[in-house]
């Protein structure tokens, strides 16, 4: 039985011939400069397609059949006229444009060439005849070529429906389209809808076809003794890594390398300075080498976001696989001469606060800010997103007991400093399963780097800032990069080498865990008990990172999302090679208290909670605040929440949300539900983050006072129960004799430090003039 078939699709000059950056497209179907270069490489004779085809031609025909499908058009054929009219003249038979874009085999190896004249390669061609003998057989079938969203997808659909036993696969590096976005969208559709396996690396694709580990020989450098490779620091390179570097710099006579990062997950990151065969100094590059699969995934992830980052991102100048290892050669458009270093090395060497702030602004505003600008509120469970699961309990226990040097049995554990902390093992073993369903809600999502740390922020000789390592880039929690870098800043960058330093670090933990509003800056370091210079510096740098939060979280200022991220990465730190024992103990202390706080907060989010103002201001009635009952993005139920209000004695409701918000949060039936439940309802729609008019507030306050005097229990709500609800409560308290500052403080004490969210709302309360009291009317409205 034939094990595998390789089918190429439209790998012809009119589709993929290399072009200059500003050359006009030869026709309407050419994929363009960028995609042609990605597919064929800077030197097409040694690029991805050429190397793959050279390997394929060397395989026995009994092991790998090769079928080339090509567009082949006769302009004189009336049946092809409409196709050529729609797409323009292309691949006209016997023309250069119709020729293959790779070197054809000069051997007598059998292969099939299918001339296709339309979008369906089975219509009017012998393709079905060529494949029919293999019907019902579980062959491995690999596809490569263009266009991913059209010809490749159409072919995969036909193969899946006609030959359901075939195992289909493509490689992202060996397929292309005129739009990078459409290319990756199509790959996703191929995987989800047609069950096509998508390989990120060529090595994995050829291994799939061969059914075993295979090796595509790398082209030898043009000179036997060049390039001369020198490594300025670190141990000698493994032979496979050395050969990959020789291949990537095969046009050079000399390469000087410096280790920027390495040793973790089998990866090594190198900065390079090179001299070409003619003695010219080349632009600086960064080379990353690691396991073949993850390196291929990093290349795929980076290609999806490359156009968004623009000149702030590197370019993949070349990539290669060999011996189970993969390598990426990143070129940076403006990287200065001289060796590059990393943000982590600079920070640990005493980087000034001014330069630190400058680098962070470049990273999170100018570079990753391009991702964050498109952030959208998404329904999600952040515990699921950050991969929390009770299945990790045994692993967490093992690391904690190893770190402490004793069994973690009691409910409270103790650090060598004498500081007590909740037993984090119990959180994973007993608590996590119960609170997982309670973490549903909404948070802002955007594309994120995904694994931002100080070692993959590169600073070049001209002080330019560059990012590398896009393996984890994805659409995710918008704060993820900031939370991850903060974690590394604390437990890797900040030196902790004694019990005394750890004791003060624990104080820093509580300063950060006390944050209640992500929209507000951290208090000044002078207001903290911190005295150790490095801990004060760490606190101030965290403040720089937190300063980027307000724009990202917008109105979603609940610190719960930060707490989940802090816990996730603090626990991860327990496995870090870079952190010493003192730093890991600090991370454990933070994780333990973060887990305790997280559990408490989530358990409070069960039945709808009302925060009531003190009776001294409202009696004989009561005035309370809460979030929007039944909001669907939090997984709540209108019926259950209205029932909870009734159970807590609510008789009147003030609804401050707009009609649009009733729809946005899925509570279109809320007002009817209030009435059906017998709740007297008053509406004052105020746009989010805004205020109403003084006259409207005065009228509402008169209504509140009248009904409270009659013993009503009144609920005020907006969406989060913080901004607009706090505005109403603050103005009401001013009618009871409190000044603006005291009224605002009282609302925040009762409801949340985040209540009364905007300067406009604070200013309205400060300027609100209470109207003279009106005589009681003696009854409810």
Using DSSP's 3-state secondary structure scheme, residue 129 falls into helix
Round to whole Å and give the CA distance between 249 and 275.
Answer: 9
Choosing from 91, 511, 655, 718, the catalytic residue is 718
Residue pair 598/563 in contact (Cβ under 8 Å)? The answer is yes
Q: What strand order describes the sheet that includes 376-381? A: 376-381, 440-448, 474-477
DSSP 271-337: EEEEEETTSPBPPPEEEEEEEHHHHHHHHHHHHHHHHHHGGGS-EEEEEEEETTEEEEEEE-TTPPS
> Residue 359 half-sphere exposure, CB side, CA atoms within 13 Å?
24
Token pair recorded at residue 284: 């600086």
The CA-CA-CA angle for residues 43, 48, 52, to 5°, reads 125
Catalytic annotation present for 718: yes
Residue 727: what are its φ and ψ, rounded to 5°?
Answer: -60, -50
Residue pair 587/574 in contact (Cβ under 8 Å)? The answer is yes
Round to whole Å and give the CA distance between 141 and 170.
Answer: 9
Token pair recorded at residue 35: 């995609």
Q: Which helix (H) or strand (E) holds 421?
A: strand 420-422
Token pair recorded at residue 139: 């062959």
Round to whole Å and give the CA distance between 405 and 295.
Answer: 37
* Close Cβ partners of 61 (under 8 Å, ≥ 6 residues apart): 109, 110, 111
Task: Select from 218, 408, 462 the least CA-distant residue to 323.
Answer: 218
Residue pair 50/41 in contact (Cβ under 8 Å)? The answer is yes
Task: Select from 228, 339, 342 the least CA-distant residue to 285.
Answer: 339
Residue pair 574/399 in contact (Cβ under 8 Å)? The answer is yes
Round to whole Å and give the CA distance between 611 and 608.
Answer: 10
Token pair recorded at residue 367: 């570079």
Q: Write down the residue that tokens 């600086």 correspond to.
A: 284
Round to whole Å and give the CA distance between 509 and 539.
Answer: 10
Question: Distance between the two ends of the chain, CA-based, in angstroms?
Answer: 86
Residue pair 133/117 in contact (Cβ under 8 Å)? The answer is no
Token pair recorded at residue 698: 């005065």
**Known catalytic residues?**
718
């Amino acid at each position: 039985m034939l094990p595998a078939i390789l089918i190429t699709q439209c790998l012809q000059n009119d589709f993929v011939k290399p072009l200059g950056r500003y050359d006009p497209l030869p026709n309407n179907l050419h994929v363009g400069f960028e995609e042609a270069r990605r597919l064929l490489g800077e030197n097409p004779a040694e690029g991805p397609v050429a190397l793959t085809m050279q390997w394929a031609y060397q395989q026995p025909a009994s092991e790998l059949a090769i079928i080339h499908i090509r567009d082949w058009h006769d302009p004189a054929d009336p049946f092809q006229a409409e196709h050529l009219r729609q797409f323009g003249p292309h691949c006209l038979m016997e023309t250069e444009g119709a020729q293959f874009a790779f070197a054809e085999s000069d051997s007598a190896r059998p292969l099939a060439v299918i001339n296709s004249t339309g979008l369906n390669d089975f219509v009017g061609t012998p393709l079905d005849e060529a494949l029919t003998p293999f019907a019902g057989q579980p062959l491995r079938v690999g596809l490569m070529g263009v266009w991913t969203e059209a010809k490749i997808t159409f072919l995969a659909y036909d193969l899946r429906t006609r030959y359901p036993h075939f195992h289909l696969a493509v490689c992202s590096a060996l397929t292309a389209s005129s739009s990078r976005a459409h290319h990756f969208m199509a790959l996703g559709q191929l995987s989800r809808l047609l069950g096509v396996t998508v390989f990120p690396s060529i090595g994995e694709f050829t291994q799939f076809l061969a059914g075993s580990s295979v090796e595509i020989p790398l082209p030898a450098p043009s000179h036997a003794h060049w390039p001369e490779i020198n490594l300025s620091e670190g141990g000698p390179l493994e032979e496979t890594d050395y050969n990959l570097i020789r291949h990537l710099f095969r046009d050079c006579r000399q390469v000087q390398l410096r280790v920027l990062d390495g040793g973790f997950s089998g990866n090594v990151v190198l900065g390079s300075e090179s001299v070409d065969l003619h003695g010219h100094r080349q632009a600086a590059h960064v080379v990353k080498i690691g396991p073949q699969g993850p390196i291929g995934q990093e290349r795929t992830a980076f290609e999806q976001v490359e156009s968004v980052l623009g000149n702030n991102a590197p370019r993949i100048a070349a990539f290669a696989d060999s011996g189970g290892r993969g390598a990426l050669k990143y070129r940076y458009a403006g990287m200065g001469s001289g060796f590059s270093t990393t943000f982590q090395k600079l920070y640990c060497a005493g980087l000034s606060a001014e330069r630190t702030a400058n680098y962070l602004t470049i990273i999170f505003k100018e570079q990753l800010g391009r991702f964050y600008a498109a952030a959208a509120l998404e329904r999600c469970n952040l515990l699921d997103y950050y991969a929390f699961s009770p299945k990790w309990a045994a692993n967490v226990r093992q690391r904690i007991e190893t770190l402490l040097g004793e069994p973690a049995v009691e409910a409270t554990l103790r650090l060598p400093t004498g500081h007590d902390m909740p037993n984090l093992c119990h959180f994973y073993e007993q608590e996590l399963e119960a609170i997982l369903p309670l973490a549903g809600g909404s948070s802002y999502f955007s594309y994120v780097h995904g694994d931002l740390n100080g070692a993959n922020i590169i600073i070049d000789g001209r002080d330019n800032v560059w990012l590398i390592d896009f393996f984890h880039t994805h659409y995710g929690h918008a704060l993820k990069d900031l939370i991850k870098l903060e974690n590394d800043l604390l437990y890797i960058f900040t030196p902790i080498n004694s019990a005394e330093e750890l004791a003060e670090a624990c104080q820093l933990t509580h300063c950060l865990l006390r944050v209640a509003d992500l929209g507000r800056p951290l208090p000044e370091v002078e207001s903290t008990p911190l005295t150790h210079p490095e801990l004060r510096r760490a606190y101030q740098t965290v403040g720089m990172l937190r300063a980027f939060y307000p724009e990202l979280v917008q109105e979603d200022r609940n610190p719960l999302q930060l707490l989940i991220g802090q816990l996730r990465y603090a626990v991860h730190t327990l496995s870090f090679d870079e952190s010493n024992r003192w730093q890991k103990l600090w991370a454990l202390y933070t994780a333990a208290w973060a887990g305790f706080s997280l559990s408490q907060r989530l358990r409070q989010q069960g039945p709808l909670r009302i925060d009531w103002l003190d009776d001294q201001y409202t009696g004989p009635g009561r005035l309370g605040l809460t979030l929007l009952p039944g909001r669907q993005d939090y997984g709540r139920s209108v019926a259950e929440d209205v029932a909870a209000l009734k159970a807590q004695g609510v008789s009147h409701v003030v609804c401050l949300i707009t009609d649009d918000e009733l729809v946005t949060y899925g509570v279109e039936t809320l007002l009817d539900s209030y009435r059906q439940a017998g709740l007297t309802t008053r509406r004052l729609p105020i746009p989010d983050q805004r205020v109403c008019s003084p006259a409207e507030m005065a009228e509402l306050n008169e209504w509140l006072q009248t009904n409270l005097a009659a013993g009503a229990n009144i609920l005020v709500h907006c969406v989060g129960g913080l901004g607009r609800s706090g505005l109403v409560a603050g103005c009401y308290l001013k009618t009871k004799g409190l000044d603006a500052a005291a009224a605002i403080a009282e609302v925040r004490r009762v409801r949340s430090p985040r209540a009364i969210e905007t300067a406009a709302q604070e200013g309205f309360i400060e300027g609100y003039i209470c109207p003279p009291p009106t005589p009681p009317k003696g009854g409810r409205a």
